Every structure is written in C-alpha cells, then in structure tokens.
C-alpha cells in the first residue's frame, strides 16, 4: 500500500508539539506507513502539496499565516491542528481580552511599525480543521492514536469526557477543593498529567464539548474566588474557545 504523504507545518509557536512528534517512541514504526515530506525541525525535505495529512502546530498571528493556513487547507485531504496554539491560539490569547487600544499602547508604544501582528487564534478561525489534538504540549499517545485512525482512513473519535475521568481512573486524590481544579470542564486526553503530579488542572487543553462552565463558576465563587480571579482561571490557554463568552461576562471586579 502506498505510504500516506504527510506534512508538518509550524506557525508561530514554541515548536514543542513538533518536538513531541519527533520524540514519539512509535515514530519509526509510523514511518513504515507514512512519508513525511515536510518537518522543519527534523528534516531538510520541504515538498509542496498535495498532501494526504497535514499537521499544523502554532497560532495564526500574522497576515502571512492566514494565507499559509488557507493554502494548506487547499492542499490537504486531512488538516489536523496539533497543540493548544493551533487549536485555540494558546497562551498569548490572554491579551485578546484587552481592548485593542489598550493592548496597542502597552505593546507597541511609538515604535515597531514593522511588526504586523493580529490577535492570535487557532487555525479554525480561518479554515476547517478536521480534528483538534489539544494540549500544551500534545500527548504522545493521543498523537499515535490519531495517526492510526487516519491510516485506517477515518477521523478519530473526539473525547467526550473530562480530565476528571482520567484522574479518577488513576486513583488520584481530588484537588478541586484544595487548588480549584479545572479538570471537570477540560477535555480529556492527557491522562490527567498535572493532577497526577500534585498540581490542579489549568485547562491547557481547553473545554470539553458540553463543559458546565456555569457550575464551575458557581463552585469557584463558593470557594471564595472573586470574579476577576475566576476570569484569570479561564483566561489561559484557550481564550478563543467557548471560554470566551464567560471571559466577557466576568469582566470587572466583583
């Protein structure tokens, strides 16, 4: 069977998700079924499309990057966003909540005319992504599962449960009342890495589909968190996700 033609594109990011792909223990096995023709951090090859599968890491934060994702979409059978940046813009979306004038005065001052920067978002703002692999960074096992599903010619099934389920499955001590854990509203797939290491989940993966954010806010208020603090909890890695409408409501001190 002919190998699938795979490309990895990297937009503005820390390149960590590319490194997670490079570090995947199953990469050499995968190479028996896929031909990676573009992988900037690892190989010199840089072939143009069409591609069977494209993995995109990084946020869209320049006009040039909008053109790149549109071009990729046109040349890829499957476009998979990898990592928090490609899914929801990543941690720099924290600044998206600032009114534009205020953001400009802090960050641009009176110089930097050559900086062409737009509010960072994930790729889905501009093109349809066939699947999102969440997390900062992505989880190696999850990446492997996605590749296997695609090799079988289908899209992987998205997780419908929360990080809580993975945490309970590991028998972890629940941190919700100690450190206000975002596990209950965050999409599963990481194996509850942070709570397993004694740190409450901070939702680098973003919300699960039917996350009960309203209830999370009520419980956080009961624990004594001010609305400005609750906004801080939701305003981290996935500010352009469905958390966005809550960030707008929680504006202002209460």
Partner 1 sequence: MAVIKLDHITKIEGHGSLIAKVENGFVSEVEMRAEEGVRFFEAFVRGRKFHEVPILTSPICGICSQAHVLASISAIERAIGVEPSQQTKEMRELLNIGQYIQSHNIHAHFLALPDYLGYGDAIQMMDKHGDAVRRALKFKRWASSFCTLMGGRDMHPVAAQVGGFTHFPDKRRLSEMLKLLKELRPEAMKVAELFGSLQYPKFKRKKPYGSLSADKGYPLISGDITIGSMTFKPHEYKDYIVESIKPYSPSKYSLFKGESYFVGALARVNNNLPRLSDNAKVAISHSEINFPNDNTFANNFAQAIEIVHCVDRAIEILENANFKKEPWDLKKIKVNDGRGVGTAEAPRGTLYHDYTIRKGLVESANIITPTVQNLNCIEDDVKAFLPGILEKDEKTVTMELEKLVRAFDPCCSCSVHFMKI
Distance separating alpha carbons of residues 89 and 84, to the nearest angstrom: 6
Report 194-233 residues binding partner 1 (CB under 8 A).
194, 196-199, 202, 204, 232
Minimum distance of partner 1 from residue 7's CB (angstroms): 13
Q: Tell me whether residue 12 or residue 162 sits nearer to partner 1 (CB atom).
A: 12
Q: Is 179 in the site for partner 1 (CB under 8 A)?
A: yes
Should residue 134 be labelled a site residue for partner 1 when binding is judged by CB under 8 A?
Answer: no
112 binds partner 1 (CB under 8 A): yes
Edge-first strand listing for the sheet containing 51-57: 34-38, 4-10, 51-57, 76-82, 131-133
Nearer to partner 1, 25 or 99 (CB): 25
DSSP code of 60? B
Alpha helices in 134-226 (DSSP H): 140-151, 163-169, 176-179, 193-196, 213-222
Which helix (H) or strand (E) segment holds residue 56: the answer is: strand 51-57
Shortest distance in whole angstroms from residue 60 CB to partner 1: 8
Residues 6+ apart with CB under 8 A from 173: none
Q: Which residues contact 64 (CB under 8 A, 6 or more apart)?
A: 116
**CA distance to 38, 161, 164, 203, per residue, from 211 (Å):** 36, 9, 12, 12
Question: Does residue 49 touch partner 1 according to CB under 8 A?
Answer: no
Indicate which single residue of 1, 99, 109, 171 sits in contact with partner 1 (rule: CB under 8 A): 109
- The CB-of-171 to partner 1 minimum distance in angstroms stands at 15
Nearer to partner 1 by C-beta: 101 or 154? 101
2 vs 33: CA distance, rounded Å: 8
Binding mask 8-47 for partner 1 (x = CB under 8 A): --xxxxxxxxxxx-xx-x--x--x--------xxxxxxx-
Catalog residues that contact partner 1 under the rule CB under 8 A. 10-20, 22-23, 25, 28, 31, 40-46, 59, 61-62, 65, 84-85, 90-92, 94-95, 103, 106-107, 109, 111-112, 114-115, 117, 120, 136-137, 179, 193-194, 196-199, 202, 204, 232, 236
């Amino acid at each position: 069977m002919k190998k699938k033609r795979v490309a990895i594109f990297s937009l503005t990011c820390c390149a960590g998700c590319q490194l997670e792909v490079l570090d995947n223990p199953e990469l050499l096995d995968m190479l028996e079924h896929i031909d990676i023709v573009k992988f900037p951090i690892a190989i010199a090859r840089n072939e143009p499309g069409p591609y069977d599968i494209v993995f995109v890491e990084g946020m869209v934060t320049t006009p040039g990057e909008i053109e790149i994702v549109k071009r990729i979409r046109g040349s890829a059978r499957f476009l998979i966003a990898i990592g928090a940046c490609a899914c929801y813009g990543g941690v720099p979306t924290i600044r998206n909540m600032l009114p534009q004038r205020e953001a400009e005065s802090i960050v641009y001052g009176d110089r930097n005319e050559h900086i062409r920067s737009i509010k960072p978002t994930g790729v889905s703002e501009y093109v349809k992504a066939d699947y999102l692999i969440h997390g900062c960074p992505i989880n190696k096992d999850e990446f492997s599962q996605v590749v296997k599903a695609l090799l079988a010619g289908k899209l992987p099934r998205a997780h419908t449960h929360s990080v809580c389920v993975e945490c309970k499955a590991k028998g972890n001590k629940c941190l919700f009342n100690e450190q206000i854990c975002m596990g209950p509203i965050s999409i599963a797939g990481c194996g509850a890495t942070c709570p397993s290491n004694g740190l409450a989940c901070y939702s680098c993966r973003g919300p699960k589909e039917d996350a009960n954010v309203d209830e999370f806010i009520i419980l956080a208020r009961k624990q004594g968190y001010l609305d400005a603090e609750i906004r801080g909890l939701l305003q981290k890695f996935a500010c352009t996700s469905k958390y966005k409408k809550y960030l707008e409501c929680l504006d202002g001190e209460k």
